[in-house]
């Protein structure tokens, strides 16, 4: 596993220099001209070939253990693996609470596993934009697959997970009403439903409940798999399902459509991130009576920038 650091230059990314990859990732996270130069210089064929896998699900479902097993399975196939672990932020330091050194230590001596933890810090737009760039750096460096693991199932995680080519929703028995509350939204983005800890009581009932849900959306085929990440049971079946879905999506054009949609969202994220400082400065100058009606204040602000726009809500 390569811990990214600010060393060397990013010019050796194509040559798989671990330090150059790490520095390139750090620069892309910061943004600016250097980041644009790095992203522009990446190998488009490597990016096109790479598979981006999203892993999401509620806390306690065993996502990190499952990702560790996936890394091991892909490494047995001699594939270079990239992992982006999206972590919650410490309210005190702003740093990631669950760092890669904790979650991925079993791969610490493997130079062909590159892990990056990204703390949310309450910056959804900026995080989404940076994560997309980091995905491409890893893919351009030869990582295939690149795995994005999110910490939970809130709106921010769902937005980030849409960077993926395919998504696995990881659930576990015994999580009660939380499963019912989140199924509808998550089923819209999931290609695979993974019932982890499937040796526990309630696994069959959870599978039956999920089968009932997915029958309501026959236009979007979803597979249900059972795994026990601690023992590795079901991992190879999961890898096979991932490969099968990837092949199908490449053949029927679904992958091309998803990647275009992802790029549109990423352009939006970057645009908002670049505008954020000026927006904040202009809003801070508004008098209280204007701020009292936020929608009107926002419309007036945008009209100052684009006075001829007549299509604002």
Helix/strand number for the chain, H first, E second: 13, 8
**Beta carbons within 10 angstroms of residue 86's beta carbon:** 24
Classify domain 2-252 by CATH architecture.
3-Layer(aba) Sandwich (3.40)
User: At which residue do the structure tokens 């979650």 appear?
Assistant: 103
279: enclosing H helix or E strand: helix 254-284
- 196: three-class secondary structure by DSSP: coil
Which pLDDT belongs to residue 235?
A: 96
Which pLDDT belongs to residue 36?
A: 85
Q: Please, are residues 230 and 65 in contact by the beta-carbon 8 Å criterion? A: yes
- For residue 122, how many C-alpha atoms fall within 13 Å in the half-sphere facing its CB? 5
**Beta carbons within 10 angstroms of residue 48's beta carbon:** 12
pLDDT tens, N- to C-terminus, the chain (313 residues): 544 444 334 456 666 667 788 888 888 888 778 888 888 889 999 999 999 999 988 888 888 899 999 999 999 999 999 999 887 654 444 444 444 445 555 666 778 898 888 876 555 555 666 788 899 999 999 999 999 988 765 655 667 777 899 999 898 988 764 555 455 566 777 899 999 999 999 899 888 888 887 777 666 678 899 999 999 999 999 999 999 999 999 999 999 999 999 889 888 878 887 888 888 899 999 998 889 899 989 888 888 877 776 666 6
212/138 Cα distance (integer angstroms): 38
Q: Where does 12-123 have alpha helices with state H?
A: 18-30, 33-40, 44-49, 63-76, 100-103
133/110 Cα distance (integer angstroms): 23
Which pLDDT belongs to residue 4?
A: 44
Q: Please, are residues 100 and 115 in contact by the beta-carbon 8 Å criterion? A: yes
Is pTM beyond 0.75? Reply is: yes
Task: Determine the straight-line distance between the first and last CA of the chain, rounded to whole angstroms.
Answer: 49
Which pLDDT belongs to residue 189?
A: 76
Which pLDDT belongs to residue 92?
A: 44
Phi and psi for 146 in degrees, rounded to 5? -115, 125
């Amino acid at each position: 596993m390569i811990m990214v650091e600010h060393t060397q230059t990013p010019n050796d990314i194509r040559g798989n220099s671990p330090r150059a990859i790490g520095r390139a990732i750090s620069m892309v996270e910061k943004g600016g001209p250097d980041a644009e130069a790095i992203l522009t210089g990446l190998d488009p064929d490597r990016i096109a070939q790479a598979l981006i896998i999203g892993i999401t699900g509620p806390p306690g479902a065993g996502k990190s253990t499952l990702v560790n097993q996936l890394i091991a399975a892909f490494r047995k196939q001699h594939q270079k693996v990239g992992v982006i672990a999206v972590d919650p932020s410490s309210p005190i330091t702003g740093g990631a609470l669950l760092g890669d050194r904790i979650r991925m230590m079993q791969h610490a001596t493997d130079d062909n596993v590159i892990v990056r933890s990204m703390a949310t810090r309450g910056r959804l737009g900026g995080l989404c934009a940076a994560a997309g760039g980091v995905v491409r750096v890893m893919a351009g460096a030869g990582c295939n697959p690149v795995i994005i693991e999110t910490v939970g199932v809130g709106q921010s995680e769902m937005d980030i997970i849409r960077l993926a080519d395919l998504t696995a929703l990881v659930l576990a028995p015994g999580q009660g009403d939380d499963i019912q509350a989140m199924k509808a939204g998550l089923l819209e983005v999931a290609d695979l439903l993974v019932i982890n800890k499937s040796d526990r009581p309630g696994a069959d009932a959870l599978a039956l409940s999920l089968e009932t849900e997915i029958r309501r959306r026959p236009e979007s085929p979803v597979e249900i798999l059972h795994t026990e990440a601690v023992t590795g049971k079901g991992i190879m079946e999961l890898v096979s399902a991932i490969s099968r879905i990837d092949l199908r999506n490449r053949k029927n054009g679904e992958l091309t459509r998803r990647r275009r949609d992802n790029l549109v969202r990423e352009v939006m994220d970057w645009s908002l991130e670049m505008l954020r400082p000026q927006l904040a400065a202009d809003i801070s100058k508004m008098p209280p009576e204007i701020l009292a009606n936020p929608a009107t204040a926002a419309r007036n602000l945008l009209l100052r920038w684009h006075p001829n726009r007549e299509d604002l809500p």
